[in-house]
């Protein structure tokens, strides 16, 4: 066998292996707001980019997060995203802006349920990232808002990270000056929390 033929076969085998790895990689769509859009920092400092680096070729992360996004805005964009990317898993990180705007809890819950249903209809598994809002919105509203994520996850049989900013919210050193958005120092912890919740969904 000539040297040229051997080199050709090596290249073909390499390309075949690469294509196989790409085909078996889990496609994970992240649909979120500023918490997932790396607001106030370079995109490569955000938790999605950090998680992407950790997974390497095992997972293909597609970040469709937009600062200021509401659950309704996400619902309008999700069908096209599902059709375009055909994700195996959808990470839903929405609802926080709806709560901060004081939207009715029933309306937020209904829209999040529709996002989950759209994802499931496309045969994607769902990881729901729970959120909380400050207590100054009133105990009844704040408690009801926090509870709706667990209720939805249980009712619709989806994975849940109970509170996305656990150990971060309320710690000024991990927040930007607005005390709403986590800073770059908080992003590794956010990535670690999502990774732990996501791992079971990546199992064969």
> Which residues form the catalytic set?
34, 178, 181
Indicate the helix (H) or strand (E) that contains 61: strand 59-63
Q: What six digits make up the tokens of 158?
A: 């989806």
Sequence length of the chain is 204
Residue 5's φ and ψ, nearest 5 degrees, are: -65, -40
Beta bridge partners of 27: 60
Neighbours of 119 (CB within 10 A): 26
Whose CA is closest to 167, among 142, 200, 132, 197?
132
Tokens 């898993």 -> residue:
89
Provide the CA 59 distance to its chain's centre, in angstroms. Answer: 13
Instruction: Provide the 10 A C-beta neighbour count for residue 12.
Output: 10
- The contacts of residue 25 (CB under 8 Å, 6+ apart) are 57, 58, 59, 60
| Cα–Cα nearest to 134, from 108, 107, 109, 101 | 101
């Amino acid at each position: 066998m000539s040297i040229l033929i051997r080199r050709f076969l090596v290249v073909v085998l390499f390309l075949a292996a690469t294509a196989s790895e790409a085909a078996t990689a889990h496609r994970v769509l992240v649909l979120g707001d500023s918490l997932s859009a790396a607001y106030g920092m370079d995109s490569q400092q955000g938790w999605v980019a950090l998680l992407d680096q950790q997974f390497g070729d095992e997972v293909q992360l597609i970040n469709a997060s937009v600062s200021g996004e509401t659950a309704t805005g996400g619902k309008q964009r999700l069908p096209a995203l599902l059709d375009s990317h055909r994700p195996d898993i959808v990470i839903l990180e929405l609802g926080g802006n709806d709560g901060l705007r004081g939207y009715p809890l029933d309306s937020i819950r209904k829209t999040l349920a529709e996002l989950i249903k759209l994802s499931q209809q496309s045969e994607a598994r769902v990881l729901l990232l729970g959120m909380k809002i400050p207590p100054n919105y009133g105990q009844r509203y704040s408690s009801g808002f926090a509870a709706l994520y667990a209720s939805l996850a249980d009712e619709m049989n989806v994975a849940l990270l109970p509170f996305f900013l656990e150990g971060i919210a309320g710690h000024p050193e991990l927040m930007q000056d607005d005390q709403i958005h986590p800073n770059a120092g908080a992003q590794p912890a956010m990535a670690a929390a999502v990774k732990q919740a996501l791992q079971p969904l990546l199992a064969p």
